[in-house]
Amino acid sequence: MVSLEEELELSMTYENFEDVPARKAASRRSVEDFNVPAAAPGMKMYRLVVVSFGLLCILQAALNISLRLTLYLEAGCNNLTEERDDLKRTLENYVSQQNSLTEERDEMKRINLDLEAGRNLLTEENHGLKRTLEEYAHYLQQGWVYFSGSFYRISSTMKPWQDSRRDCQQRGADLMIINSQEEQDFSRQSKNITWIGLMDRNTEGEWTWVDGTQLTTSFWHSGEPNNYLNKNEDCVNINHHDHQNSWNDAPCENEHFWICEKKM
């Protein structure tokens, strides 16, 4: 226990701004007068110190708490920043993946369009081939002979050149056009005189095929064309089968067999 004297001494150490002897006297007087312990100012000081210490402790505690809180929040903040960066990276990855997928999808769409176009072409080609096949079957069934890309049919009756041509047209064909030596040789198989699709009916001396093309390679028999005996011989037939050059011009109204050709 600190005595009142000691407390007084202690308080005097701190409170040197007052008159010490006077304070001592006053203190004694106060004790004597009021029977109150003379060490009250020291007690005050003591309380002040205790309170200050308490406040310091509270301040320290508050500082600790705020420091810990700051550290905690900072750590939390760092975590959140990392999480945010992670999310950003993930999002960037997603966006990049989405872009790749979009490009892939567009490429697939283009490929699909190409494939569709290819399929349409193949379908058209297929239909065309079917039609051609049906046509081949039709002409073969009708007794036509196939040679080098065309079907040929030699008539079994005789007609003037114009009627002969009409017959061919009604069969989806026309009178034969000879474009090569091979075709010329093929035309000589028939031993009958046969009309072919060549004439100069429009302009004398200007020999024209039924498809409108002008004559270039010709196989006239020797002395032909001659408008024999000044007759109007405007249509051409295969006459001299035993010669490579077998053509003869003859009057169109004469009746002969004829050869139709269907180009395939």
User: Which of 7, 174, 183, 224 is the binder for ligand 2F8 (CB under 6 A)?
Assistant: 224
Which residue in 168, 248, 256, 257 binds Ca ion (CB under 5 A)? 248
Identified binder of ligand 2F8 from the candidate list 100, 179, 226, 245, rule CB under 6 A: 226
For Ca ion, the closer of residues 209 and 247 by Cβ is 247
Of the CA atoms within 13 Å of residue 193, those in its CB half-sphere come to 16
Q: What is the 3-state secondary structure (H, E, C) of 43-63?
A: HHHHHHHHHHHHHHHHHHHHH
Q: Work out whether 246 is an interface residue with Ca ion (CB under 5 A).
A: no
Q: Does 90 bind Ca ion (CB under 5 A)?
A: no
Q: Per the omega criterion (within 30 degrees of 0), is the bond before 225 cis?
A: yes
Residue 169, interface with ligand 2F8 (CB under 6 A)? no
Which residue from 190, 249, 180 is spatially nearest to 216, judged by alpha carbons? 180
Quick one: what does residue 254 bind among Ca ion, ligand 2F8, none, with the CB cut-off 5 to 8 Å set by partner type? ligand 2F8
As measured in angstroms, the least distance from the Cβ of 157 to ligand 2F8 is 18
* Contact between 187 and 214 (Cβ < 8 Å): no
**How many chain residues bind Ca ion (CB under 5 A)?**
6
Nearer to Ca ion, 7 or 224 (CB): 224
Q: Which CA distances in Å does 138 have to 13, 24, 191?
A: 140, 149, 26
Stretch that binds ligand 2F8, among 80-88, 126-134, 155-163, 221-229 (CB under 6 A): 221-229
Q: Which is nearer to ligand 2F8, 192 or 254 (CB)?
A: 254
14 lies in the site for ligand 2F8, by CB under 6 A: no
Residue 122's identity, in one-letter code, is L
Minimum CB separation of residue 152 from ligand 2F8 in Å reads 22
228 part of the interface to Ca ion, by CB under 5 A: yes
Residue 250 touching ligand 2F8 (CB under 6 A): yes
Sequence-ordered list of residues with C-beta below 8 angstroms from that of 182, at least 6 positions apart, any chain = 148
Q: What DSSP state is assigned to residue 236? A: E
154: helix, strand or coil: strand
Q: Is 212 left (phi over 0), alpha (psi -120 to 50) or beta?
A: left
The token pair at 91 is 């999002």
- Tell me which residue of 195, 190, 149, 151 sits closest to 171, measured CA to CA: 151
Q: Is 254 one of the binding residues for ligand 2F8 (CB under 6 A)? A: yes
Residues recorded for the chain = 264
- Between 27 and 248, name the residue whose CB sits nearer to ligand 2F8: 248
Residue ranges that bind ligand 2F8, judged by CB under 6 A: 224, 226, 228, 233, 248-250, 254
Residue ranges that bind Ca ion, judged by CB under 5 A: 224, 226, 228, 233, 248-249
